[in-house]
């Protein structure tokens, strides 16, 4: 798992609800600091499955890796672009510093996309700074080291300004889901089906069981305020989709966003980056 936000409760809900155990999966859930680190760990074989967001998977595959999406549970961005209070628009970010987790991360890709949408050149008009994972990025904004960041809705950015609320947009993009190496999937299909089934049931439970969802939110994000815990779970549950089947549309969006910086993305086929057979079978069970 690359980062901790409200949508990160899914595997933990599955563990505490006994879903993984029911399907014979001894799930060892580990946290890494960012997407590229998670991908490195996945491709090395140190982990078998990754809870991930793109463009890490697509970028790795364009460079010759064999990763693929098996399920997408958050098919739209569940994030904000947050700035210092004196910045009134995306256009006003010209000449400013924007903090991202890494320059090859999901946050960086979304920032570049947004800047282009507003007539800015991400390579010339702003300075993108890799400042680390979610906590480090937030700290950089709150201590005025950067002028804007991508933040999860539940992060405490009091006193700052939301420039873009991506949760209300129409961008379709795999922010959260489940991935594995193609070679591993081919050799372990029964196991993969059990894991995807467990993940699907964990998504359903995370989205529909308020008591358990709020308990996991409190524990995972170390929150104490009942109102904040509730609003965080409501927002995360709303971002989750129980139709976890990866789609061509989602992956084509990633390729389109990468095409300016990676010529291989322009000619790649979206269907090469996911295997939807396991998710389709899981969703058909309707627990």
> All domains of the chain, ordered by start, with CATH?
6-76+173-283 (3.40.190.10), 80-168 (3.40.190.10)
Could you report the per-residue pLDDT of 214-242, keeping only the tens digit for each? 999 999 988 899 998 999 999 899 999 99
Cβ(11)–Cβ(199) below 8 Å = yes
Say what the pLDDT of residue 14 is.
Answer: 96
Say what the pLDDT of residue 49 is.
Answer: 94
Cβ(68)–Cβ(251) below 8 Å = no
Mean pLDDT over residues 97-114, rounded? Answer: 88
- Token readout for 180 is 């594995």
Instruction: Starting at the earlier edge strand, list the strands of the sheet with 49-52.
Output: 49-52, 176-181, 67-74
pLDDT > 80? residue 134: no
Mean pLDDT over residues 168-183, rounded? Answer: 90
Task: Give 170's pLDDT tier (boundaries 50, 70, 90).
Answer: confident
Mean pLDDT over residues 65-79, rounded? Answer: 93
Mean pLDDT of the chain: 91
pLDDT > 70? residue 129: yes
Strands 97-100 and 148-151: parallel
Task: Give 2's pLDDT tier (boundaries 50, 70, 90).
Answer: low
């Amino acid at each position: 798992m690359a980062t901790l936000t409200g949508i990160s409760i899914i595997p933990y809900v599955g563990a505490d609800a006994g879903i993984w155990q029911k399907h014979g999966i001894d799930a060892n859930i580990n946290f890494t600091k960012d997407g590229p680190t998670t991908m490195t760990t996945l491709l090395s074989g140190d982990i078998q499955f990754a809870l991930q967001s793109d463009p890490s998977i697509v970028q790795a595959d364009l460079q010759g890796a064999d990763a693929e999406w098996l399920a997408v549970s958050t098919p739209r961005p569940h994030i904000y672009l947050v700035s210092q209070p004196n910045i009134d628009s995306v256009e006003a970010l010209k000449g400013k510093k924007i903090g991202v987790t890494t320059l090859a991360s999901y946050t960086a890709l979304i920032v570049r996309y947004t800047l282009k949408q507003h007539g800015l050149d991400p390579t010339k008009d702003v300075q993108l700074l890799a400042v680390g994972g979610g906590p480090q990025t937030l700290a950089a904004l709150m201590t005025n080291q950067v002028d804007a960041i991508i933040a999860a809705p539940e992060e405490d950015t009091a006193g700052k300004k939301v420039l873009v609320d991506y949760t209300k947009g129409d961008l379709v993009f795999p922010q959260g889901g489940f991935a594995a190496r193609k070679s591993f999937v081919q050799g372990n299909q029964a196991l993969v089906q059990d894991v995807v089934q467990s993940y699907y049931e964990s998504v359903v439970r995370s989205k529909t069981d308020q008591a358990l969802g709020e308990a996991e939110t409190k524990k995972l994000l170390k929150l104490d305020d009942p109102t904040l815990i509730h609003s965080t779970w409501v927002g995360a549950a709303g971002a989750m989709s129980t139709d976890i089947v990866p789609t061509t549309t989602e992956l084509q969006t990633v390729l389109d966003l990468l095409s300016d910086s990676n010529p291989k993305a322009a000619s790649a086929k979206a269907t090469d980056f996911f295997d939807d057979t396991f998710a389709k079978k899981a969703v058909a069970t309707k627990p």
